Amino acid sequence: MLARLTAVFGCALLVGVAQAQEITIEKVAGQEIFGLKSAAVTDLSGLVWTGGDSFCAVTDHPNTLVPLTLKIDPATGRIASGEIGGVIEFDADASDLEGIAYVRATRTFYLAAETGSAVLRLGPGQPRALRLPVPAVFARARKNLSLESLTWNDTAQQFWIANEETLLPDGPLGTAEIGSLVRLQRLDARFRPTAQFAWRTEPAGFRFRGAGNGVSDLCVLPDGRLLVLERGFAAGGLHLRIFLADFRGATDTTRLPALDGVACTPAQKTLLYEQTTGFINFEGLALGPVLADGTRSLLAIADSNGGDTHAILPLKLRLPAVRPVVEKAPTKPRRDRK
């Protein structure tokens, strides 16, 4: 069953701008899931739009970039066709790539590696990716539940990273009664940490091969707001949920070496989209081009679990309209003529 929920917030008045705080995610009519068949690669786990019809993905193994061509119909948001290009191999001292971001100004890719708890930077023509420093607490991840998510937005000028499920010093793993406690880390354009917040995932109906319900990707929007993709196990198989994060009133956890037993307020969350996906394991989320009706294409990509069919879920993201505020000039005091 598909559910679409709308988050409505009060209006925020900025300098010279009035912004309606409404955002929705909806299905693309006439296309459930687009299947891209290719035996050349498996297990795509992160996706980023690089412009036009071009996207790039990463795989769980080995260390490669996977160029994709996805032709999206601007009138409907449907994926008309897709193709996987030749993979680009590189060396690194970390592996199991899960997240990917792209900075257009420098044509540089940033990659989240789960084995090694690392973020890697790969510039054009570089044969080896460079490891970037991340807060030390992320090194205390449980096996296969480490850095899973990475996002950047050229307009917002922000990076975000997150671990998949609770770090060792932050408490127990999620259960059917309570979800995992995850850290969402914000960084600036030079990859310097600026803030960190706790995030509580939804409870998992059950755990499978060590995984329950965790953060599988992030997507920062042009206005700086953050979408959080949760993937977890419940009745009917896997569930995909996309939330909007709200950090107002949340505790900055930057200086907290452990969250277990510590009083802190996690970020608030509003469910924007939910879908039961059976055995399709969606792990990546990416903004795409602007569509004819003013919405943005939003794509989720699935890990093929060793198979040759790569599932992509096309969605439509409606962002708030920005309208200029017309302010009347102050009235000058009127002088009486004598």
260-280 pLDDT, tens digit per residue, is 999 999 999 999 999 999 999
For residue 29, give the CATH number of its domain. Answer: 2.115.10
Residues linked to residue 182 through DSSP beta bridges, in sequence order:
199
Residue 286, in any domain of the structure: yes
Full DSSP string of 125-186: T-SBPEEEP--GGGGSPPTT-SEEEEEEETTTTEEEEEESS--GGG-PPP-SSS--EEEEEE
Residue 291, in any domain of the structure: yes
pLDDT in tens, 104-122: 999 999 999 999 999 999 9
pLDDT band at 206 (very low <50, low <70, confident <90, very high): confident
Residue 335, in any domain of the structure: no
Give the number of other Cβ atoms within 10 Å of residue 92's Cβ.
19
Kind and range of the H or E run holding 45 = strand 44-51
Tokens describing residue 157: 């000028």
Q: Measured between alpha carbons, how far apart are the two ends of the chain, in Å?
A: 78
Q: Which residue has the higher pLDDT, 186 or 324?
A: 186
Nearest to 127 by CA among 161, 90, 153: 90
Question: How far apart are alpha carbons 96 and 196 in whole angstroms?
Answer: 24
Residue 233, in any domain of the structure: yes
Residue 334, in any domain of the structure: no
> How many helices (H) and strands (E) would you count in the chain?
0, 27
Q: What is the pLDDT at residue 234?
A: 78
Residue 9, in any domain of the structure: yes
Residue 301, in any domain of the structure: yes
Mean pLDDT of all residues in 292-317: 96
Residue 204, in any domain of the structure: yes
270 φ, ψ to 5°? -125, 125
Number of domains in the chain: 1
Mean pLDDT of all residues in 13-17: 25
Domain with 79, as residue range(s), is 2-324
